[in-house]
Amino acid sequence: MPESALLEKPAFPVIFIVVLSLVFVGVLAFVYRLNEPGIEKQKQEAYERTVLSLCADSLASLTGKTAEQIQSGYPQSFRDYVKILPDGSFPRKAFEVRFKGRLLAYVFDITGKGLWGTMRALVATDPAKTTVLGVNVYDQVETPGLGARIGEDWFTSQFKRKAIMVNGVPVKFILIPEGQAPTDPTQVRQVTGASITSNAVIHMLQSELAMIAKASGEKKL
């Protein structure tokens, strides 16, 4: 069949697009596979840096270094102080932070329901798992500009040194407007226009930490 006759066929546009799609999907798959190890490595690195940043303050008070020095010392400082706990130690993926054998903090990879979907966060707690040392919501699909602001520093830093469980009972937190200064440690400044998401973060922290505490309590018995 001469070339022009093929081009005239009514089905030609369909065939053309199908072939073109296949070619480019192939090219993309190839490029992605080629770069996949690099992307995974970057993700892993960002994740480990987050773990380190959450316990940097606690480490700084003991090691004599500043929190910035500990963070910029990655990856060596991560290897020195942080140990990934084997699966099954806790119901969630967990890290142990030690300095000279002394347990300083745990970091848990927790998950909860946001307004639109699952959110994942790293939370550092004291060894008793009752006080939060730091939170970082690293994966979420909340409304951009509203709920997504739970990732901002001013929001997550509110939980620093907050007791989240007292005598095994979760502390009841009260949301206050974003611009207001808290007068009580149980008050949490919420993200304006996103009270569901703000509550979801608190709920995630409480339920996940309670679950982890319960599981580790049962293990001891």
Partner 1 sequence: MTKKDIFLNGAFRENSVWKQILGICSTLAVTNLMLNSLIMGLGLTFALALSSFTISLIRNYTPRSVRMIAQTLIIAAYVIIVDIILKAKLPDISKQLGPYVGLIITNCILMGRAEAFASKYPPLDSLIDGIGAGAGYTLVLLVISFIRELFGFGSLFGVKVLGSWWTNWSIMVMAPSAFFLLAMLIWIINNKYYKVG
Which phi and psi (to 5°) does residue 219 adopt? Answer: -65, -40
If binding is defined by CB under 8 A, does position 18 make contact with partner 1? no
Distance of CA 68 to the CA centre of its chain: 20
Show the tokens assigned to 139.
């994966």
| Residue whose CB is less far from partner 1, 16 or 154 | 16
Strands, DSSP E only, in the chain?
82-84, 94-99, 102-113, 118-125, 131-139, 162-163, 165-166, 169-170, 174-176, 187-189
- Identify the residue among 1, 2, 20, 58 touching partner 1 (CB under 8 A): 20
Q: Please give the size of the binding site for partner 1, defined by CB under 8 A.
A: 17
The stretches of 82-194 forming alpha helices (DSSP H) are: 153-156
**Residue given tokens 């929001």 in the structure block:** 155
Of the candidates 103, 167, 170, 116, which has an alpha carbon nearest to the alpha carbon of residue 146?
Answer: 116
CB 106 within 8 A of CB 96: yes
Find the binding residues for partner 1 in span 23-62 (CB under 8 A).
Answer: 24, 27-28, 31-32, 35, 38-39, 42, 46
| Residue whose CB is less far from partner 1, 6 or 163 | 6
| Residue whose CB is less far from partner 1, 6 or 103 | 6
Smallest gap from Cβ 18 to partner 1, in A, equals: 11
Contact range with partner 1 by CB under 8 A, out of 16-24, 58-66, 95-103, 205-213: 16-24
If binding is defined by CB under 8 A, does position 16 make contact with partner 1? yes
Contact range with partner 1 by CB under 8 A, out of 5-13, 89-97, 183-191, 211-219: 5-13
- Which residues are at the interface with partner 1 (CB under 8 A)? 7, 12-13, 16-17, 20-21, 24, 27-28, 31-32, 35, 38-39, 42, 46
